[in-house]
Chains A and B, each alone.
Chain A
Amino acid sequence: MQAIWLRARMVYAIFALGLAAASALPAQVLTTLYSFCTASGGNCPDGENVYAGLVQGLDGNLYGTTYKGGTYGGGTVFKISSSGSLTTLYDFCAVSGCADGQFPFAGLTLGTTGNFFGTTQGGGANGYGTVFSITPAGGLTTVYNFCSQSRCADGGYPYAGLFQSTNGAFYGTTFIGGHANGESPEGTVFKITSSGVLTTLYQFCHGFGTCTDGSAPLAGVVQASDGNFYGTTFTGGTKGGWPAGLGDNGTVFKLTPGGTLTTLYSFDNSSSYPYGSWPRAALVQGSDGNLYGTTNQRGANGNYGAIFKITTSGSITAFYSFCAVSGCPDGANPEGPVIQATDGNYYGTTHFGGANQGGTIFRITPGGTLTTLYSFCAQAGCADGQSPYAGLFQATDGNLYGTTYQGGTAGMGTVFKLSVGLAPPVKMRPASAAAGAAVKILGRP
């Protein structure tokens, strides 16, 4: 679908009109709320290079992390209002040796207490990352230091954020580590309580094998309505034909709360492979009960990634392959997950592709019809953002919020809002719970 761009009064307010279904498509407005590295004081004291998405706090503000920048260069935790007023809540590496954590790759998770929980990929007591909690006011507590166990049996370098389970505990993954002996650790799935008691639920790549159970998870896990956890590994699996089992194209797995792992699907590497390969993002359970995820490469159209749908029993369906048209105006190589918004459609981002090759925001219906809602780099110098890594977040005002890794007026990433005319949702934290449990309901004031 070709989009027509109209520049309105606001410099970066853009209305897209879909030609194919002009009446059905409401106007979309992208607003750049903040460009990182624009604060005075030298080396990006307000942060730079955002990999992570946003979450909404109990106060209605949005909270996120920057991978680098901040006062000490180790990344930040920030708060931003819906009007774009940004406050840096914490600067990592404030403690000698970055013992407080360094380089948060993932975003925050709002806990039931109103505090946030997250991970840093590096820093901490051992240099292999941390789990931290932070109050809305910026009070940081290091909850766990990875690689505290012999030979990193507890994992290290987490790329993923945390998921709060119905039992109140948080669940996440690590990219490396996992075995204390001479085996071939390739990452873990762990459970951690808010007080810092870590249990390693699963260690990938047992033995001196070829990681048929998956390896190196980049994404976190989600708890589905059946109570089990579902996630993806970046590499490993039984297919792909990679020499020496070093590559292989990743898996979708199910993990029971007790730590029993079932590999639901191993991605392949064959020609025009419709499901894509190398998943990097977390899954989301749709209202139809299926899990939806993205793959970064392969796909039916070359090497541009795909969206897949998979049942909790492992039956996979090709949902969409990017770059359906030469030049990839529909986006390419998604890095982040999709979300299901209040209209029942799925929304996400692509890292590359789009009308300006700066990445896109897309919507895809449950029937698989994809609409490109926004192509980044529509403005000179990509002042509107470029190459988003993270997925989107629908706030209680109904709008979608996200970040870009690059672009913005300083080239170091942005926070944006995309208004697509969706109804305001209410959100419950946690999203599911046992009968009798207390939940918080977030809504528009």
Chain B
Amino acid sequence: MLRDVWIQGKRAWALLALCGATATALPAQTFTVLYDFCSQVGCLDGRHPYPALIQGPDGNLYGGDCAGGLYRNGNIYKMTLNGQITTMYDFCSQTGCADGAYPYGSLVVGIDGNLYGATWWGGTTGYGTLFKLTLGGQLTTLHTFCLQTGCPDGEYPWGYLITDNQGNFYGTASAGGAEGSEGTVFRLAPSGALTVLHTFCAHGKCPDGRVPNGGLILAPGGILYGTTQSGGAYGKGTVFSLTAQGGLTTLYNFCSQSGCADGAVPNFMVLSTDGNFYGTTEEGGAMNSGAFFKMSPAGQLVTVYSFCSQPGCADGADPWDLIQATDGNFYGITVEADGPDTGVIFEITPSGSLTVLHTFCSSGGPCTDGWLPTNTGLFQHTNGNFYGTVSKGGNLTNAGTAFSLSTGLAPFVTTVPGSGSAGAAVQILGTNLIGATSVSFNGKAAAFSVVSGSEISATVPAGTTTGSVQVVTPGGTLSSNVSFTVMR
């Protein structure tokens, strides 16, 4: 149900950041509200969507909400690219919400093609679960947190899960852990066995950080990277790395500069194609309204942009999520802007040139385009467009919206998993893949079969090296912007 379309041709109010901004022409952006939540009677379709959307193997978007569905404790839904929603699963349909509730973190596609995720709440203990959901809607609870006294495995998993090429999942619990700790990093094996890799803030001292809410990054070489929102040397969060054996290194302590000019309370972080990490902090920066930072793998951090640098905080404040799109630039949403928690969608170059692509609730209300984009995020579909949700606002019901944002980026392909050895099966997700004539891994031709218009099954060819995956289709050649890592 496409309802409202904003076309911004000539920067009617789109702002170019002035910090060394180059006067490049801004392509037209199209922001479209795809769906108003609570469009179904009683909000059975969902209310207050929270996790970012992801792309399923079938090319559809998958997301969740936290206060709607049959039991009003959240659901997982499928949404087509034109905004048709189907409920996949309603949480709390089992005794004691044993199946979980409130899926805050976004889903991830496993190497088996199923969806995997975490619920922040629910499970028989009420401390959250990890689950598998087939595209047919069959849910399996893989882990229930806090079944053991003292919750050594953690409580309230918040961030999203990530997967490696062996079918392991990695994630964070925002609280709990042995001896009154403050969060854990865990690995969930394909067998269902959960291993705690690190417990934050053990013994009540938190030099290693606490409350790891920003999710994890699995870098080539098998090292995990992540952020904590508080703790560390200055109490305002850290960036850490973690080996598969659980050895943690604190790479950076936020608030190490006067007035926390370097940023404080980090949220999401991405591993850029240039090998550096880029991320956002919710607080700190020159205006204490959040910052955009760049950090080398060794922990050298540069604060690239401070939010609220523009009059009236037109550039947004309190940035939350961050992704790197196929143009190499970073995109995200801020929670606050000039006005009540409205937020902006921004684009920022690695060097810090910021452009506001959309301001939520810019009319001051009614916020028909939605508002409060907390913890929701942007997602770039393989068709090149961005998709996301905001948790409040919308047409009538204040239940949140789903939107698309087109900035003219080209279609591309992505792989599940992102790494593998020669001979391994890899799923390639894309758009209009029917009739594909070749698949190559860093220039080396691969055996493949077209599963559907949105999915190709390929085999990592012998002798290839880490690099881009390319698919030649009747409509053109599609490339992955993130290198596929070939394991030895």
Contacts and interface: CB of A to CB of B under 8 A. Distances in A.
B391 interface: yes
Contacts of B198: none
Interface string B36-78: 0010011100011010000000000000001100001100000
Given A182-B364, A184-B398, A218-B72, A121 B42 contact: yes
B131 to A, nearest CB: 16
Contacts of A183: 365
A136 interface: no
A179 B371 CA distance: 15
B95 A181 contact: no
A159 B72 CA distance: 12
Contacts of B122: 303
A20 interface: no
Contacts of A298: 126
Given A147-B396, A157-B42, A246 B95 contact: no
A177 B36 CA distance: 14
A244 B124 CA distance: 24
B340 interface: yes
A414 interface: no
Given A176-B397, A181-B366, A246 B96 contact: no
A207 B392 CA distance: 13
A127 B94 CA distance: 30
Choose among A180, A246, A247, A357 the residue with the greatest number of B CB atoms under 10 Å from its CB.
Answer: A246
A156 B66 contact: no
A191 B47 CA distance: 26
Interface string B297-323: 000000000000000000000000000
Contacts of A235: 67
Interface in A125-183: 127-129, 147, 151-152, 156-157, 159, 175-177, 179-183
Contacts of A121: 41-42
A244 B42 contact: no
A216 B397 contact: no
B397 A177 contact: yes
A209 to B, nearest CB: 9
Decide if the interface of chain A is mainly helix, strand, loop or mixed.
loop
Nearest to B94: A352
A246 B391 contact: yes
B361 interface: yes
A186 interface: yes
B42 to A, nearest CB: 5
A216 to B, nearest CB: 7
Given A246-B48, A302-B124, A357-B95, A122 B397 contact: no
Given A151-B396, A304-B96, A208 B340 contact: yes
B366 A122 contact: no
A328 B398 CA distance: 37
B126 to A, nearest CB: 4
B41 A185 contact: no
Interface string B106-132: 000000000000000111111000000
Nearest to B123: A303
A147 B398 CA distance: 13
A247 B48 CA distance: 9
Contacts of A186: 398
Contact of A122 (B42, B92, B391): B42
B341 interface: yes
Contact of A102 (B41, B66, B73, B121): B41
B142 interface: no
B43 A176 contact: yes
Nearest to B98: A303
Nearest to A122: B41
A182 B367 contact: yes
A153 to B, nearest CB: 10
Contact of A234 (B72, B92, B158, B341): B72
A41 interface: no
A156 B95 contact: no
B398 A181 contact: no
B178 to A, nearest CB: 16
Interface string B394-429: 001111000000000000000000000000000000
B88 interface: no
B366 A247 contact: no
Interface in A260-303: 271, 278, 280, 297-298, 302-303
A243 interface: yes
B397 A323 contact: no
Contacts of A185: 397-398
A103 B41 contact: yes
Interface in A3-54: none
Nearest to B397: A176
A182 B396 CA distance: 10
A216 B392 contact: no
B39 to A, nearest CB: 9
Given A156-B396, A184-B392, A208 B341 contact: yes
A308 to B, nearest CB: 17
B26 interface: no
21 contacts: A102-B41, A105-B42, A157-B397, A176-B397, A176-B398, A177-B397, A181-B366, A182-B361, A182-B363, A182-B367, A184-B393, A185-B398, A208-B341, A246-B48, A271-B126, A297-B92, A302-B96, A302-B126, A304-B95, A328-B96, A332-B95
Interface of B: 38, 41-43, 47-48, 50, 66-67, 72-73, 92, 94-98, 101-102, 104, 121-126, 158, 340-341, 361, 363-367, 371-372, 374-375, 391-393, 396-399
Nearest 4 interchain pairs by C-beta: A182-B365, A122-B41, A208-B340, A352-B95
